[in-house]
Amino acid sequence: MKNLLSLEALTRADMESILSRIAAFKRNRKTHPRPLSGQTWALIFSKSSTRTRVSFEVGLRELGAEVIFLSSAEIQLGRGEPVRDTAQVLGRMVHGAVIRTFAQADVEAFARFSGIPTINALTDDEHPCQILTDIFTFEELSGVPIKGRRVTFVGDAACNVPASWIFAAARLGFELRLAAPAAYQPARSLLERAGGIQGPADPGAPAEASGWYFPSGGRVVCTADLNWAATDSDLLYTDVWVSMGKEAEAAQRVQDLSGYQINAALVSRARQGALVMHCLPAYRGKEIDEATLEAHSSTIFTQAENRLHTQKAIVDWMIS
Ligand code: CP
Ligand code: NVA
């Protein structure tokens, strides 16, 4: 039995195994096997969700399972029952769990104490299902492997989505440029945990840029200079400036991150035909402007749809 608790915990072979299954689930949506027939899976969510909730509810049903959605506010977890007790109870009743919450440690504790296949549907630390989807979508729409390509993330580079991108770059061997003010760049300890060795950034990189190198050939460059970061990029990517749980910092974040926006001027620095992606929800006029979102909406909504197909592939990998 496997879990999907983070990209940090996945090997390159694991990621490739999941990625290699997605296209068939997308192609054969009506006819693929229903390996979860007779099972019941629980979705336990402590944060809001549109895409993740619906794609898991629909996807698990299409794999044959019954699904119970449990908002943490409506179960005893929300009144302080420990995760380990909740996990031991649910582990005796349901066959798998999908959890969206704050602390990564809670998802890990749930997996340990429940003994059932457990999926991280977003924590403060990672969003693994999203980034596996994004890589599949990049390869599907561009027609080339992500290995050796340049991905530029613009915005809050210290949140869950860029963290999962870092582990993906480390394992799959592509370049990830993170464009953010210094206070919104990832912790050095995270880059070290990903297996990075710090070295000089590219020749021509801004003086403040820092480069991290991985045995896969992947690298991560952190810089405050979004124009440099976007240059010749194959994929421009952004996420909200104010992640769930950070609402109290909203005004400060909007002030600090203002300017770290994907717009036509930034897109013009990327490679001709570069993709623009957003995990959604999007705040037009903040991390991406209206015209750019609309110009790339076909990519962005294909990316959203691909959550459904990717998560089926994740479950298939977990139970195989
Ligand atoms: N991208 C994503 O996870 O969206 P939701 O918060 O709507 O699930
Ligand atoms: N970083 C965002 C991702 C939303 C899908 C958040 O955690 O709110």
Instruction: Judge if the beta carbon of residue 100 lies within 6 A of ligand 1.
Output: no
Instruction: Judge if the beta carbon of residue 20 lies within 6 A of ligand 1.
Output: no
Alpha carbon of 173 to ligand 1 centroid (Å): 26
In the chain, domain spans: 33-126, 130-303
Atom of ligand 1 nearest to the CA of 50: 7
CA distances from 160 to 185, 240, 309 (A): 12, 11, 21
Instruction: Judge if the beta carbon of residue 50 lies within 6 A of ligand 1.
Output: yes
Per the CB < 8 A criterion, the answer to whether 239 and 156 are in contact is yes
pTM (2 decimals)? 0.98
Instruction: Judge if the beta carbon of residue 239 lies within 6 A of ligand 2.
Output: yes
Residue percentage of the chain with pLDDT more than 90: 98
What does the pLDDT read at residue 216? Answer: 97
Alpha carbon of 88 to ligand 2 centroid (Å): 28
> pLDDT tens across 80-98, in order?
999 999 999 999 999 999 9
Strand order in the sheet with 118-120: 66-71, 40-45, 96-100, 118-120
Instruction: Judge if the beta carbon of residue 205 lies within 6 A of ligand 2.
Output: no
Residue 203 scores a pLDDT above 90:
no
Residue 1 scores a pLDDT above 90:
no
Residue owning the nearest CA to atom 6 of ligand 2: 243
> pLDDT tens across 244-254, in order?
999 999 999 99
Instruction: Judge if the beta carbon of residue 223 lies within 6 A of ligand 1.
Output: no
Tell me the best of 102, 127, 242 to mutate to test the pocket of ligand 2, counting ligand atoms within 8 Å of each CB and taking the most. Answer: 127
Tell me the best of 49, 101, 132 to mutate to test the pocket of ligand 1, counting ligand atoms within 8 Å of each CB and taking the most. Answer: 49
Tell me the best of 45, 161, 184, 237 to mutate to test the pocket of ligand 2, counting ligand atoms within 8 Å of each CB and taking the most. Answer: 161
Residue owning the nearest CA to atom 7 of ligand 1: 50
Atom of ligand 2 nearest to the CA of 244: 8
Instruction: Kindly report the average pLDDT of the chain as a whole number.
Output: 98
Q: Is it true that 33-126 and 130-303 share their CATH fold?
A: yes
CA distances from 255 to 15, 144, 230 (A): 37, 37, 21
Task: Tell me how far apart the alpha carbons of residues 36 and 38 are, in angstroms, rounded to a whole number.
Answer: 6
Task: Give the closest ligand to the alpha carbon of residue 55.
Answer: 1
Element containing residue 80 per DSSP (H, E): none
Q: How confident is the model at residue 202 (pLDDT cuts 50, 70, 90)?
A: confident
Per the CB < 8 A criterion, the answer to whether 302 and 15 are in contact is no
- Burial code (b: 16+ CB inside 10 Å, e: under 16) for 57-72 equals bebbebbebebeebeb
Is the link from the previous residue into 82 a cis peptide, with omega within 30 of 0?
Answer: no
With respect to CATH, is domain 130-303 assigned 3.40.50.1370?
Answer: yes
What does the pLDDT read at residue 290? Answer: 98
Residue owning the nearest CA to atom 3 of ligand 1: 52
Instruction: Judge if the beta carbon of residue 158 lies within 6 A of ligand 2.
Output: no
> pLDDT tens across 127-143, in order?
999 999 999 999 999 99
Atom of ligand 1 nearest to the CA of 279: 1
Atom of ligand 2 nearest to the CA of 279: 5
> pLDDT tens across 254-312, in order?
999 999 999 999 999 999 999 999 999 999 999 999 999 999 999 999 999 999 999 99
Task: Give the closest ligand to the alpha carbon of residue 53.
Answer: 1
Alpha carbon of 160 to ligand 2 centroid (Å): 7
Query: Can you name the CATH fold of 33-126?
Result: Rossmann fold (3.40.50)
